[in-house]
């Protein structure tokens, strides 16, 4: 079957139809007898392909001509210059370019006419390929890409249609169109049929329009092609471009071995790594991807580790918090290893009951390896059993049993973390080893109070946070040098203010004192640097200082999901939405259940309402009982014009959250915006009455006044909130709930006071 070329915007059709007489005549005139165009043999959204004869060399060639609408959007000089660069590629697995030029308003280039079939045609006929065959094709295309990347060229449109199979070898086509079209004006690319790249295969960063794509974007697309060759289906499927983009940003591709059990673990691991959402987690070159496909059984993709909740085997159920503390501390130690991706506490705790097998848990958490363990405490003795398992193969990578005195608990935690790092061949610098081996306290009673405080804190309720402070203070009474306990007080105190449960003049000074003390005791504590950054955001409006601390926190704790989340919120506040989305994606990767709605919120702030709705729906699927998830879904629905559904979701959030004023005030705003004025005023009256007995942030009242269209009163509330540092006032510039005020002179003046204008 003939297939001389691919198309960047869709499958080609071997039409066998005669080309338009006028176009053929113009081309033949331009060629001046060098080439004789015979007929049209293929057509795509951006180009038409003609069969021609190379008169001088007596060989058939394929002439690819941009359709007029595309040609008019490309500067001819730029086209010829870039095609000249592409033409210099010289590799046995790249279909070369013979010639290029301009015929009036037509731009064209000439390629060999090769008899063969595309990989797309082969997959349509066979659905999936033998593992060795799929790997060989991938390695040959990876070699072609590595050559092109070395010349500074990124293909941008790797897909089965652009891979030609000729005499048993794979050849890559269409560098020309993909590379030249990448710099077309945006208005041209948004026309129907003109897409640089194919949604089913493009990388997350390409899908969201990030500039400066590099080799890792092509690696992702090639990983998608390999996945399809092995599994017989794409890693992601969706009814629309927006749905596909959202899946790439939020979801993890199902393990390929889920559909094809005979795929070797090393190949499955390489596919997983190539499809990592973050470019930094992928192979950094196509050559590295090819090498991994031919290597023996290797480490699971990305060295992604999930520490499952240690099972409490103690006879006293009160020791449950001790088992949970063991889980958290091992996670904290591993999070200090830069080359590991460690799933955060909130997500792993969802699997405490072990209702799924290890393979299912690993797939849900996108983890290559799992640490599974148990704790039995009796008197002053503790027995800990731990095993590290490759979830895809059930292979035990390491196991150990510790029968020790309770006072040795920190030594055990350190040993477990170091053993995991060794098993995964994760290199540690001397400083990183010292930080892992550092004991947080020498007082066992202080440690137990700290664990009780953590147990209360992670309820994420006002009552839980207040109780956590009590336990953290008890820990400090036993050990005044306990830096982690101070960091815990800082976190709880700051969150109480931001959620509106505590007055700023009480919560912020307490948080500031605690974080300063934590850093004085241990300047390498990532949690403390993260909280200092957050305080600089919410209380100081010191954006540069906050960013410096966020970066330091990530240096010290590369797998700290909360840091990515809070850093992303700050980026959204100052208008850096692409970075905010990337941070949100990373937070979700590290803690998919804790940050299940944050990406949707960021998309709402960026004005990408349809994408936000898809992400919000996915967040509810993670946890139907999550109040923040329902509130986010409510606004995503509302801002997409589905007012009644949005209000219903906000009502569910209010019912789930109890007595807090955040979702109640936002429900009041939605009522007002939907014209349900009496209901909006009813909520306003309720909150004003409550303010006599408990703290109600003026920031929350501003929501309702905006909904009612009473903008001057809303500004009164926001200015009060600014003076008090009330609620989430630091985020007003990026908030989608105050867009009606963006042009108000008082709002602009307020942004200037906050160094946001």
Give the CATH number of the domain where residue 197 resides: 1.10.510.10
- pLDDT confidence of 70, banded at 50, 70, 90? low
CATH number of 465's domain: 1.25.40.10
Average pLDDT over residues 577-596: 76
Taking only the tens place, the pLDDT of each residue in 392-408 is 777 888 888 988 888 88
Q: Which two structure tokens, joined as six digits, stand for 134?
A: 């799929």
Q: Which of 528, 558, 588 is the last residue of a domain?
A: 558
Mean pLDDT highest for which of 162-166, 169-173, 225-229, 246-250? Answer: 225-229
- pLDDT confidence of 456, banded at 50, 70, 90? confident
Our CA angle for 499, 655, 455, nearest 5°, is 55
- pLDDT confidence of 431, banded at 50, 70, 90? confident
Distance CA 588, CA 43 (A): 41
In a domain, 733, yes or no: no
In a domain, 536, yes or no: yes
Percent of the chain with pLDDT over 90: 31
Instruction: Work out whether strand 304-307 and strand 341-342 pair parallel, antiparallel, or are unpaired.
Output: parallel
- As for how many domains the chain has, the answer is 4
pLDDT at 688 over 60: yes
Number of H helices, E strands in the chain: 34, 14
Higher pLDDT: 202 or 72? It is 202
Average pLDDT over residues 290-298: 60
SS3 721: helix
Which three-class secondary structure string do you get for 581-623? HHHHHHHHHHCCCCCCCHHHHHHHHCCCHHHHHHHHHHHHHHC
Return the C-alpha torsion angle 45, 47, 48, 54, nearest 10.
-160
Give me the pLDDT at residue 210, please: 79
Same-domain status, 334 and 435:
yes
pLDDT at 376 over 70: yes
Same-domain status, 196 and 244:
yes
Residue 14 falls in the annotated catalytic set: no
Mean pLDDT highest for which of 185-189, 437-441, 459-463, 740-744? Answer: 740-744
Distance CA 453, CA 653 (A): 26
Same-domain status, 80 and 177:
no
Same-domain status, 39 and 75:
yes
169-172, strands of its sheet edge to edge: 117-118, 163-166, 169-172
Taking only the tens place, the pLDDT of each residue in 184-243 is 444 443 343 344 557 788 888 888 777 778 899 999 999 999 999 999 999 988 777 677
Average pLDDT over residues 621-626: 75
Same-domain status, 279 and 344:
no
In a domain, 571, yes or no: no
Give me the pLDDT at residue 746, please: 96
Same-domain status, 144 and 252:
yes
Q: Which of 416, 439, 462 is the last residue of a domain?
A: 439
Q: Which of 299, 334, 369 is the last residue of a domain?
A: 299
pLDDT at 171 over 60: yes
Q: Are 385 and 401 in contact (CB under 8 A)?
A: yes
Average pLDDT over residues 376-384: 87
Taking only the tens place, the pLDDT of each residue in 99-108 is 887 777 777 8
- pLDDT confidence of 15, banded at 50, 70, 90? very low
Catalytic member of 54, 146, 157, 565: 157
Give me the pLDDT at residue 188, please: 40
pLDDT at 260 over 70: yes
Mean pLDDT highest for which of 235-249, 330-344, 404-418, 589-603? Answer: 404-418
Same-domain status, 170 and 80:
no
- Average per-residue pLDDT in the chain? 83
Average pLDDT over residues 3-21: 40
- pLDDT confidence of 111, banded at 50, 70, 90? confident
In a domain, 627, yes or no: no
DSSP state of 381: E
Higher pLDDT: 158 or 294? It is 158
pLDDT at 481 over 90: yes
In a domain, 385, yes or no: yes
Give me the pLDDT at residue 670, please: 97
Same-domain status, 71 and 160:
no
Higher pLDDT: 83 or 248? It is 248
Give me the pLDDT at residue 163, please: 92
SS3 112: strand
Residue 505 domain boundaries: 440-558
User: Distance between the two ends of the chain, CA-based, in angstroms?
Assistant: 62
Distance CA 508, CA 497 (A): 7
Give me the pLDDT at residue 741, please: 95
Which range has the worst mean pLDDT, 348-352, 465-469, 514-518? 348-352
Q: Are 726 and 695 in contact (CB under 8 A)?
A: no
pLDDT at 427 over 90: no
Mean pLDDT highest for which of 80-84, 192-196, 688-692? Answer: 688-692
Half-sphere exposure of 712 (CA within 13 A, CB side): 0
Q: Are 35 and 61 in contact (CB under 8 A)?
A: yes
Same-domain status, 127 and 270:
yes
- pLDDT confidence of 523, banded at 50, 70, 90? very high
Same-domain status, 294 and 370:
no
DSSP state of 161: G
- Concatenate the DSSP letters of all residues of 394-418 into one string: TEEEEEEEEEEEGGGHHHHHHHHHH
In a domain, 750, yes or no: no
In a domain, 579, yes or no: no
Distance CA 688, CA 387 (A): 56
Same-domain status, 72 and 150:
no
pLDDT at 19 over 50: no
Taking only the tens place, the pLDDT of each residue in 637-680 is 999 999 999 999 999 999 988 766 789 999 999 999 999 999 99
In a domain, 358, yes or no: yes
Higher pLDDT: 194 or 548? It is 548
Same-domain status, 535 and 552:
yes
């Amino acid at each position: 079957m003939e297939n001389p070329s691919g198309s960047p915007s869709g499958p080609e059709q071997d039409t066998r139809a005669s080309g338009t007489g006028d176009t053929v005549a113009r081309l033949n005139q331009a060629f001046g007898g060098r080439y004789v165009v015979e007929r049209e043999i293929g057509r795509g959204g951006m180009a038409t392909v003609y069969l021609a004869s190379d008169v001088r060399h007596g060989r058939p060639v394929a002439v690819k001509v941009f359709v007029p609408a595309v040609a008019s959007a490309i500067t001819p000089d730029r086209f010829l210059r870039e095609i000249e660069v592409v033409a210099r590629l010289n590799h046995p697995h790249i279909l070369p370019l013979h010639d290029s030029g301009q015929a009036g308003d037509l731009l064209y280039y000439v390629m060999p006419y090769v008899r063969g079939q595309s990989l797309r045609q082969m997959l349509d006929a066979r659905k999936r390929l033998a593992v060795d065959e799929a790997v060989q094709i991938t390695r040959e295309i990876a070699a072609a890409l590595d050559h092109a990347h070395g010349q500074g060229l990124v293909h941008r449109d790797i897909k089965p249609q652009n891979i030609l199979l000729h005499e048993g070898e794979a050849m890559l086509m269409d560098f020309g169109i993909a590379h030249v079209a990448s710099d077309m004006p945006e208005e041209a690319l948004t026309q129907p049929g003109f897409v640089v790249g194919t949604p089913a295969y493009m990388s997350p960063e390409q899908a969201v329009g990030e500039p400066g794509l590099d080799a890792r974007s092509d690696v992702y697309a090639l990983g998608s092609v390999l996945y399809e060759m092995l599994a017989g289906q794409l890693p992601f499927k969706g009814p629309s471009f927006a749905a596909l983009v959202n899946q790439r940003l939020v979801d993890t591709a199902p393990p390929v071995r889920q559909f094809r059990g005979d795929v070797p673990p090393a190949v499955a691991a390489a596919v997983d790594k190539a499809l990592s959402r973050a470019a930094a987690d992928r192979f950094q070159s196509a050559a590295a991807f090819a090498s991994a496909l031919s290597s023996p059984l290797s480490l699971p993709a990305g060295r992604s580790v999930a520490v499952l909740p240690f099972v409490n085997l103690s006879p006293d159920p009160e020791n449950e918090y001790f088992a949970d503390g063991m889980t958290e501390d091992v996670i904290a130690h591993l999070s200090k290893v830069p080359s590991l991706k460690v799933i955060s506490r909130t997500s792993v705790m969802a699997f405490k009951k072990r209702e799924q097998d290890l393979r299912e848990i690993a797939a849900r958490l996108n983890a290559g390896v799992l640490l599974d363990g148990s704790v039995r405490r009796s008197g002053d003795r503790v027995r800990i059993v731990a095993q590290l398992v490759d979830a895809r193969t059930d292979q035990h990578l390491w196991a150990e049993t510790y029968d020790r005195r309770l006072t040795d608990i920190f030594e055990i935690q350190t040993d477990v973390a170091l053993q995991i790092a060794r098993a995964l061949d994760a290199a540690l610098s001397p400083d990183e080893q010292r930080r892992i081996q550092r004991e947080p306290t020498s007082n066992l009673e202080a440690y137990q109070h700290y664990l009780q405080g953590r147990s209360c804190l992670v309820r994420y309720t006002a009552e839980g946070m207040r109780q956590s402070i009590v336990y953290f203070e008890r820990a400090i009474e036993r050990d005044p040098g306990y830096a982690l306990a101070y960091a815990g007080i800082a976190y709880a105190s700051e969150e109480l203010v931001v959620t509106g449960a505590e007055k700023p003049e009480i919560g912020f000074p307490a948080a500031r004192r605690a974080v300063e003390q934590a850093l004085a005791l241990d300047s390498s504590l990532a949690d403390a640097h993260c909280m200092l950054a957050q305080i600089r955001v919410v209380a100081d409006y010191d954006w540069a200082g906050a960013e410096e601390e966020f970066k330091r926190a990530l240096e010290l704790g590369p797998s700290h999901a909360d840091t990515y989340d809070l850093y992303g919120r700050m980026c959204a506040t100052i208008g850096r939405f692409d970075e905010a989305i990337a941070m949100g994606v990373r937070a979700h990767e590290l803690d998919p259940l804790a940050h299940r709605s944050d990406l949707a919120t960021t998309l709402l702030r960026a004005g990408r309402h349809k994408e936000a709705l898809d992400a919000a729906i996915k967040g509810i699927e993670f946890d139907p009982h999550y109040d923040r998830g329902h509130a986010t879904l409510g606004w995503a629905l509302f801002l997409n014009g589905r007012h009644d559904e949005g209000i219903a979701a906000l009502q569910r959030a209010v019912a789930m959250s109890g007595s807090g004023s955040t979702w109640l005030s936002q429900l009041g705003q939605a009522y007002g915006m939907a014209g349900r004025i009496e209901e909006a005023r009813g909520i306003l009256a309720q909150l004003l009455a409550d303010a006599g007995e408990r703290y109600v942030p003026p920031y929350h009242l501003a929501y309702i006044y905006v909904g009612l269209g009473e903008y001057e009163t809303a500004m009164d509330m926001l200015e009060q909130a600014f003076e008090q540092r009330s609620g989430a006032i630091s985020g007003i510039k990026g908030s989608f709930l105050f867009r009606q005020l963006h042009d108000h002179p008082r709002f602009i003046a307020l942004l200037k006071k906050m160094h946001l204008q």
